[in-house]
């Protein structure tokens, strides 16, 4: 028979053997003395309670941190969405501000000139690499006609090439087939502006003897009334005389970059306005808007009493010659 096999009688015997000494010790304790078993039980309970408290505290801390992380992540997503919305609003406000500034300049320029101008928006651009043209949202229903000049506050853009009911095609001055009559403002030498590439024009048919130099301003001649007289086209960047030719080769940097246009003016009627009378050579360049109409010339002082009328006229004429 295996001694270590479980037997109820053996278990009872072992329990009695252990309990008898303990009962003997308990019977011998003083009346005010604590039971001997209380200390080990208290120590064991303290260890168990401490372990359970640490475990539950860790669980609570981990759960709280997890819940906080979920809340932080959710709040972070909300802030990201709010930031994106604010960025979009800021971009829209900035665009409106810039558009308002552009339209204010156009309106101020229109008020400062005698020309009859019609505003238009650029709605499309020619994608052909050989031609540079834009399309505007004005057509013959708005009074447009072929060859009418197109300008901005800064200078010449081009002219109307094709007119439809609600839109028109504008050939810009940098197109190779463009032709705009221009003159050198300093010496009044005449030539024809046509395009070379997207950023450069040619001034063709300059006579070999014409006095022209890099830096000279090229302005419109005002012939046929498509453009006002003296409106800026660009500045000469280089001039070259061929050995045997009868003309000079000149390149012009246009004042206006057609690739950046959003709004333009169509010259409905130039009104015989001469910008040469309003601005000198040093006053040209963008923006013309900053240069207001010149002050009216003061009337000549009346002649002194008893002086003949001719004397006053002569004095006025002499002042004009100066």
Write out pLDDT tens, residues 96-114.
Answer: 888 888 888 888 888 888 8
Say whether both 84 and 164 belong to one domain: no
Residue 311 within a domain: no
* C-alpha 19: how far from chain center: 95
Range in 46-50, 218-222, 301-305 with the lowest mean pLDDT: 301-305
Residue 268 within a domain: yes
Say whether both 83 and 146 belong to one domain: no
Q: Which residues pair with 169 in a beta bridge?
A: 135, 162
Most confident of the ranges 12-21, 83-92, 236-245: 83-92
DSSP 281-295: GGG-SS-GGGSPPPP
Q: Which of 178, 183, 190 is nearest to 258 (CA)?
A: 178
Does the pLDDT value for residue 298 go beyond 60? no
- In angstroms, the CA 226 to CA 233 distance is 14
Domain closes at, from 72, 88, 112: 112
Residue 307 within a domain: no
Compute the mean pLDDT over every residue in the chain, rounded to the nearest whole number: 79
- In angstroms, the CA 46 to CA 40 distance is 10
Mean per-residue pLDDT, 67-94? 88
Say whether both 122 and 47 belong to one domain: no
CATH code, domain carrying 232: 2.40.10.340
pLDDT of residue 22: 67
Residue 164 within a domain: yes
Domain closes at, from 59, 88, 112: 112
Q: Residue 51: give the domain boundaries.
A: 26-112
Query: How many beta carbons lie within 10 A of that of residue 97, not counting itself?
Result: 10
The answer, as to whether pTM is greater than 0.75, is no
Say whether both 123 and 149 belong to one domain: yes
Say whether both 66 and 144 belong to one domain: no
DSSP state of 224: G
Give 295's pLDDT tier (boundaries 50, 70, 90): very low
pLDDT of residue 224: 80
Does the pLDDT value for residue 301 go beyond 90? no
Pure H helices in the chain: 8-28, 38-112, 275-278, 309-321
pLDDT of residue 318: 37
Number of domains forming the structure of the chain: 2
Give 284's pLDDT tier (boundaries 50, 70, 90): very low
- In angstroms, the CA 218 to CA 240 distance is 16
- In angstroms, the CA 214 to CA 191 distance is 15
Say whether both 279 and 249 belong to one domain: yes
pLDDT of residue 279: 59
DSSP state of 255: S
Three-state DSSP state, 202? strand
Domain closes at, from 90, 112, 134: 112
Say whether both 120 and 55 belong to one domain: no
Three-state DSSP state, 266? strand
- In angstroms, the CA 161 to CA 172 distance is 9
Residue 319 within a domain: no
Does the pLDDT value for residue 202 go beyond 50? yes
For the record, the structure tokens of 228 come out as: 């006002």
Q: Which residues pair with 124 in a beta bridge?
A: 135
Give 74's pLDDT tier (boundaries 50, 70, 90): confident
- In angstroms, the CA 251 to CA 212 distance is 11
- Maximal C-alpha separation, the chain: 165
68 phi and psi, to 5 degrees? Answer: -65, -40
Say whether both 229 and 197 belong to one domain: yes
Give 37's pLDDT tier (boundaries 50, 70, 90): low
Say whether both 87 and 190 belong to one domain: no
First to last CA, the chain: 147
């Amino acid at each position: 028979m295996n001694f270590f096999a479980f037997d109820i009688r053996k278990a009872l015997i072992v329990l009695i053997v252990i309990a008898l000494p303990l009962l003997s010790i308990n019977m011998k304790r003083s009346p005010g003395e604590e039971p001997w078993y209380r200390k080990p039980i208290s120590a064991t309970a303290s260890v168990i309670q401490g372990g359970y408290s640490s475990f539950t505290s860790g669980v609570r801390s981990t759960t709280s941190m997890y819940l906080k992380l979920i809340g932080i992540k959710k709040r972070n997503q909300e802030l990201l969405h709010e930031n994106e919305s604010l960025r979009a609003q800021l971009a829209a406000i900035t665009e409106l501000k810039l558009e308002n500034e552009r339209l204010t300049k156009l309106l101020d320029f229109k008020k400062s000139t005698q020309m009859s101008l019609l505003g238009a928006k650029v709605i499309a651009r020619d994608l052909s690499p050989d031609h540079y043209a834009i399309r505007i949202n004005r057509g013959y229903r708005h009074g447009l006609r072929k060859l009418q000049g197109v300008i901005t506050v800064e200078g010449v853009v081009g002219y109307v090439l094709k007119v439809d009911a609600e839109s028109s095609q504008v050939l810009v001055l940098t197109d190779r087939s463009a032709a705009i009559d221009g003159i050198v403002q300093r010496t009044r030498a005449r030539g024809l502006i046509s395009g070379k590439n997207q950023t450069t024009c040619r001034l063709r048919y300059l006579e070999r003897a014409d006095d022209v130099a890099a830096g000279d301003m090229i302005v419109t001649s005002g012939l046929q009334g498509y453009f006002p007289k003296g409106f800026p086209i660009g500045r000469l960047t280089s001039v070259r005389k061929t050995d045997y030719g009868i003309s000079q080769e000149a390149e012009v940097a246009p004042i206006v970059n057609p690739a950046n246009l959003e709004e333009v003016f169509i010259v409905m009627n130039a009104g015989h306005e001469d910008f040469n009378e309003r601005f000198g050579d040093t006053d040209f360049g963008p923006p013309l808007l900053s240069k207001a109409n010149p002050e009216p010339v003061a009337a000549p002082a009346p002649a002194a009493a008893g002086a003949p009328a001719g004397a006053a006229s002569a004095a006025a004429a002499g002042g004009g010659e100066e």
